[in-house]
Amino acid sequence: MAIAESHAQRAREASARFQISRSYADYHELLEQPDIDAVTIATPTYLHAAMAIEALKSRKHVYLEQPMALNAKEAARIVDTAKSMKRVLMVAQPWRFNRHTQLARALIDRGDTGEIYHARGYWMKRAGIPRIGSWYTQKQFSGGGCLTDLGIHLLDIALYLFKESDVLTVSAQTHTRFGQRNMGEGDIGRSEVDQKKTFDVEDGAVAVIRMKSGRSITLETAWACFHPPDTREFGVELFGAGAGLSLFPLRHLRHTLDGSEVVHYANGKPAHAEDGLHHFVTCALDSKKLQTPPEESLKLRKVLDALYAAAASGKDVRLG
Ligand SMILES: NC(=O)c1ccc[n+]([C@@H]2O[C@H](COP(=O)([O-])OP(=O)(O)OC[C@H]3O[C@@H](n4cnc5c(N)ncnc54)[C@H](O)[C@@H]3O)[C@@H](O)[C@H]2O)c1
């Protein structure tokens, strides 16, 4: 096992914590090691495309943190390289592997909800801006704010449970209300901060997504906002013709002969469930089919680009 980390102190800390014997300040050196088959890339987003493409060209399988790249153009280049090098490329979409998401999908597959026609995803942090003045809060390095950081996961859950990725149009509105006043910071991220840097990403966003099938998705995300403390910050609700599902944790809302009931799923992991990283390793070793094909990851990035275009223009953007 090896680590490539350009910051000496953080390299020492990570090596000690995870008992990693080989450490490189320059990631190219790591990529030159013939006994390394696969890498996880968890660097700031603006480095993802170059690092992933170089790793794939060095014949490494790649597990790439979300968001996969600054924009869909860069993301498509990564996907093309994985294809031409015949390497496994998996983008982190961890919520697909969550046991409650898996149970929700099993209930939908069993026909327990009827057709799901609408999904609502929300992640409204009260104070969760990742380190104001770091790469996270500069668009040129992160690609965007809370819509990129939080919204993409909500969108992924909705599309996974819809079993559909054909988006027709999107509409969005973004807000920047707290970060530029140095308010609403959380404790995500470790790397350097420069308070003089302009905060030019959104710390709030709402979006409406219309699917080709006629289904709809609404997203509400905030890195910072005055969200009521007695309500949940994070969740995905699925509205079906026969029943509803509410995650996380999973609840099944359904009719009974004399009213309605809510079934709570507190425990239980489906037998086939595995986490994302194990899935990546299995796919790389055994040529198994990915549950998160790179083409679907690329589609997520395309929808994200369309959401920013819609927010900038104030108009619906058509994808289909
Ligand atoms: N922090 C989270 O909870 C979280 C969750 C999901 C996804 N992500 C994603 O993971 C990625 C990393 O996020 P983070 O919060 O860990 O960021 P971070 O800034 O805390 O850490 C990034 C690390 O990359 C190192 N680095 C920068 N340039 C390098 C280079 N050229 N070679 C080697 N190392 C280099 C930095 O020194 C730093 O230690 C981002 O794409 C982010 O969106 C983070």
Q: Parallel, antiparallel, or unpaired: how do β-strands 22-24 and 38-41 relate? A: unpaired
Nearest CA to ligand 1 atom 30: 6
Confidence band for 30, pLDDT divided at 50, 70 and 90: very high
Residues with CB under 6 A from ligand 1: 4-7, 10, 27, 42-45, 47, 65-66, 188-191
Q: 245: helix, coil or strand?
A: strand
Q: Which amino acid is at 85?
A: M
Give φ, ψ of 61 to 5 degrees: -75, 150
pLDDT at 294 over 80: yes
pLDDT digits (tens, 9 = 90+) for 173-226: 999 999 999 999 998 877 788 888 889 999 999 999 999 999 999 999 999 999
Q: Which of ligand 1's atoms lies nearest the C-alpha of 149? A: 43
Domains and CATH numbers, the chain: 2-93 (3.40.50.720), 95-275+301-318 (3.30.360.10)
Q: Which of ligand 1's atoms lies nearest the C-alpha of 148? A: 43
Q: What is the pLDDT of residue 57?
A: 98
Cα(88) to centroid(ligand 1), Å: 21
Closest CA to 71 of 138, 131, 139: 139
Nearest CA to ligand 1 atom 14: 189
Specify the range with the lowest mean pLDDT, choosing from 10-19, 147-156, 268-277.
268-277
Confidence band for 267, pLDDT divided at 50, 70 and 90: low
Cα(77) to centroid(ligand 1), Å: 21
Nearest CA to ligand 1 atom 29: 6
**Residues contacting residue 234 through CB under 8 Å, at least 6 positions apart:** 122, 123, 124, 248
Closest CA to 222 of 152, 153, 145: 145
d(CA 54, CA 302): 22
pLDDT at 269 over 60: no
Q: Parallel, antiparallel, or unpaired: how do β-strands 61-64 and 204-211 relate? A: unpaired
pLDDT digits (tens, 9 = 90+) for 73-107: 999 999 999 999 999 999 999 999 988 999 999 99
Cβ atoms of 251 and 107 within 8 Å: the answer is no
Strands (E), 186-279: 204-211, 216-222, 234-240, 243-247, 250-256, 259-265
Cα(2) to centroid(ligand 1), Å: 16
Nearest CA to ligand 1 atom 16: 189
